[in-house]
Structure formats: structure tokens, C-alpha cells
């Protein structure tokens, strides 16, 4: 992976956590995703909490593409990929690797929803957490842009663990989410021998506070804050804030899964 791409992916992950309280989180993510994966159109279809088999409320880039996705929702039972909704884990795949060009472009879904947009290939990612379908991210390319590649799939996959965790918490765990966050930080602090001050700073980092805000809140200098942050990095084995956020998210997921299994 090129350094610029790696930095762009880390920046997107960081922005995701900064947008956790923003209702336009998905819209912003799709817009920023263009810096990593080239696409013509994109969408996110939410899964209905009361009926996860039903998708609704399309969020699209550009927003005018919502017309196509609304048509899809009306005839989604004709989709040859509808089985994805029932799959119990996150999946990332391009449609061209599953279905031939002819079958794909002559399908009722393409003909009725996407044909006049010139869609040629799609890259899809189902978001699933605790066996609950949260929604489906889809990127679309016209023929001019060609087929999606394995590299595109890999890039999109990097965001799945973060989107799963963030969207699940926004949708299903909005009440008491801060208590859950404190529980995970306490667990990680015990495992990695973080001091009380380091745990406090980790909490504020995850709450998307910048260095100046954290230093002021802790009543310490920026230099002292840097030392605490570097100690956290050293203890958990990371070297940057995005890497720390990713590490902590994985830790929280493991704790959640362990609790569910119990």
C-alpha cells in the first residue's frame, strides 16, 4: 500500500470517530471515501431495526442517486444478491466477481434501477454486528471506470470493523454508551497497566477531544500530555492516534463478543 493511501485510510478512520455524534456521519464517510476508492455513485441503505430483512432510507453520493436506490427498495425481492441480507457476518465483494457481465447487466434490478446511470460494476459491503444487519454500503462504477479490483475490496474492508462498531452503538446502544466506553477503558487499562491519568486521557481521545482540550481538562501542559500519550502508545504497541483508536475498537469488540458468549 502506498504511503499516501495508508495516510488517507487512517485519516478517514479518525474522521469516523470525530463524527460519531453527527447525523451525517455516513454521508461524510462516503464523500471522503473517494480519496481512497474511485467510484461514480455510492449509497448506504439502512436495515430496519424492527425488520432487518428490509432496507430503507438511502443515503447517497450524489444525493440525486437516491432515486435509483428508492426504486431498488421497491423491487429488492428481485435482487439476485438478496441472500447477502441473511448472511451472519460482514461481507465485501464486487458483483462482477460473482455474476457474468451479461447476467448482471440484463438483470431486472439493473434494467429498472441503474441502467440509465450507466452502472457497470458494484462493490458492496454488508455491515453486521452481533449477527444483526445494520445496513449495506454500495459503490458503483460506470464502464469508463472499469471493474472494481481486489485492492478496492481490501481498502473498503479496512473500514468495516469501525463502521460496524460505530453504527451499532449509534443505533442500538445510544443509552448508556458512555458507561460502556468507561467499562472497556477500565478493562484495557487493567490489561496494559495504564495509570489513572493515562486511562483518563484515553477516554478523552476516544471522545474526540483534541490535545489542547485534553491538556486544559487535565490541567497539564501540552508537553506533559505528549508524554502521557506516548506512554499509552508504548504500552499498547501503537504509534499514532488513528492506530490507537483502531486498537481500542478491536479491544471493545472482543470484550463485547466475550460478554455475548457468556
Greater pLDDT, 98 or 40? 40
CA–CA separation, 224 and 229 (whole Å): 9
Return mean pLDDT, the chain.
85
Greater pLDDT, 31 or 84? 31
Name the CATH superfamily for 3-172.
Answer: GAF domain (3.30.450.40)
Over the stretch 56-109, which tens digit does the pLDDT of each residue have? Answer: 899 999 999 999 999 999 988 888 777 777 777 889 999 999 888 888 888 888
CA–CA separation, 124 and 164 (whole Å): 14
Residues of the chain with CATH 3.30.450.40: 3-172
Over the stretch 195-228, which tens digit does the pLDDT of each residue have? Answer: 888 988 988 887 777 888 899 888 899 999 999 9
Name the CATH superfamily for 177-261.
Answer: Response regulator (3.40.50.2300)
Amino acid at each position: 500500500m502506498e504511503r499516501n493511501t495508508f495516510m488517507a485510510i487512517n485519516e478517514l478512520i479518525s474522521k469516523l470517530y470525530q463524527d460519531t455524534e453527527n447525523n451525517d456521519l455516513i454521508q461524510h464517510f462516503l464523500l471522503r471515501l473517494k480519496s481512497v476508492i474511485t467510484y461514480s455513485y455510492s449509497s448506504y441503505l439502512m436495515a430496519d431495526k424492527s425488520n432487518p430483512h428490509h432496507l430503507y432510507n438511502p443515503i447517497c453520493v450524489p444525493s440525486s442517486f437516491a432515486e435509483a436506490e428508492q426504486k431498488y427498495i421497491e423491487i429488492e425481492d428481485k435482487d439476485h444478491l438478496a441472500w447477502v441480507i441473511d448472511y451472519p457476518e460482514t461481507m465485501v465483494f464486487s458483483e462482477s466477481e460473482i455474476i457474468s457481465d451479461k447476467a448482471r447487466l440484463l438483470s431486472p434490478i439493473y434494467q429498472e434501477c441503474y441502467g440509465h446511470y450507466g452502472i457497470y460494476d458494484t462493490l458492496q459491503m454488508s455491515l453486521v454486528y452481533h449477527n444483526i444487519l445494520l445496513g449495506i454500503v454500495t459503490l458503483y462504477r460506470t464502464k469508463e471506470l472499469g471493474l472494481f479490483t481486489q485492492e478496492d475490496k481490501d481498502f473498503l474492508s479496512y473500514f468495516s470493523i469501525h463502521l460496524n462498531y460505530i453504527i451499532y452503538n449509534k443505533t442500538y446502544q445510544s443509552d448508556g454508551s458512555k458507561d460502556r466506553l468507561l467499562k472497556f477503558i477500565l478493562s484495557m487499562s487493567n490489561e496494559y497497566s495504564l495509570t489513572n491519568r493515562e486511562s483518563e486521557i484515553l477516554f478523552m481521545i476516544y471522545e474526540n477531544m483534541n490535545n489542547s482540550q485534553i491538556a486544559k481538562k487535565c490541567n497539564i501542559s501540552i508537553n506533559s500530555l505528549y508524554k502521557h500519550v506516548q506512554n499509552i502508545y508504548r504500552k499498547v504497541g501503537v504509534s499514532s492516534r488513528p492506530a490507537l483508536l483502531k486498537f481500542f475498537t478491536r479491544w471493545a469488540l472482543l470484550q463485547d463478543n466475550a460478554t455475548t458468549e457468556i
